């Protein structure tokens, strides 16, 4: 059912927990399945320097969160805003159709975090 990469990221997730010094946080959820994903980003000079997550959910949700934090580190804010859930699915070696929504949560969490970051930047000026 799940690829080896999904199992690996679920069993040994990367970048778990609150990120000290995070200046962008996004939280999204899926009412249908109950998954909740919170993404923490540390952005400096419009580049994502670090990322972490806290996710309450299934194997696919945790694996999607883990691989996403690996993938977005080093991206510019503009690059991250173009990040698509298909990238997560590919990086994990695929997801069952019923679990693709977990990769969508990751995409949405990034966009929400960056939106919150930009609102904070506008307020600071």
Q: Scanning the structure block, which residue is given the tokens 């805003």?
A: 81
Residue 95 near residue 68, CB atoms below 8 Å: no
Question: What is residue 60's predicted lDDT score, i.e. its pLDDT?
Answer: 96
pLDDT band, very low/low/confident/very high, at 49 (cuts 50, 70, 90): very high
Given a cut of 60, whether residue 125 has pLDDT beyond it is: no
Question: What is residue 121's predicted lDDT score, i.e. its pLDDT?
Answer: 76
**Can you say whether residue 45 is alpha, beta or left, with left for phi > 0 and alpha for psi between -120 and 50 degrees?**
left
Q: Which two tokens stand for residue 120?
A: 């904070």
Any idea where the domains of the chain sit in the sequence? Answer: 4-117
How many whole angstroms separate alpha carbon 79 and alpha carbon 102? Answer: 21
How many whole angstroms separate alpha carbon 109 and alpha carbon 104? Answer: 9
CA 90 and chain centroid, separation: 15
- The secondary structure of 98-119 as a DSSP string is GGHHHHHHHHHHHHHHHHHHHH
Q: Which of 7, 22, 33, 47 is catalytic?
A: 33
Q: Using one digit for the tens of pLDDT, what is the confidence trace for 96-108?
A: 999 999 999 999 9
pTM of the model: 0.93
pLDDT band, very low/low/confident/very high, at 123 (cuts 50, 70, 90): low
58 among known catalytic residues: no
Question: What is residue 78's predicted lDDT score, i.e. its pLDDT?
Answer: 96
pLDDT band, very low/low/confident/very high, at 1 (cuts 50, 70, 90): confident
Q: Which of 102, 106, 110, 113 is catalytic?
A: 102
The CATH code of the domain at 4-117 is 3.90.1010.10
């Amino acid at each position: 059912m799940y690829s080896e990469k999904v199992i690996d990221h679920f069993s040994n997730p990367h970048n778990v927990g609150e990120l000290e010094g995070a200046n962008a946080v996004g939280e999204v959820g899926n009412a249908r399945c109950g998954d909740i994903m919170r993404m923490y980003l540390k952005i400096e000079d419009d580049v994502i320097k670090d990322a972490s997550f806290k996710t309450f959910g299934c194997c696919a949700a945790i694996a999607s969160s883990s691989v996403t934090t690996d993938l977005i580190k080093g991206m510019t804010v503009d690059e991250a805003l173009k990040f698509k859930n298909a990238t997560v699915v590919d990086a994990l070696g695929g997801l069952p159709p019923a679990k693709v929504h977990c990769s969508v949560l990751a995409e949405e969490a990034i966009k929400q975090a960056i939106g919150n970051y930009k609102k904070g930047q506008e307020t600071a000026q």
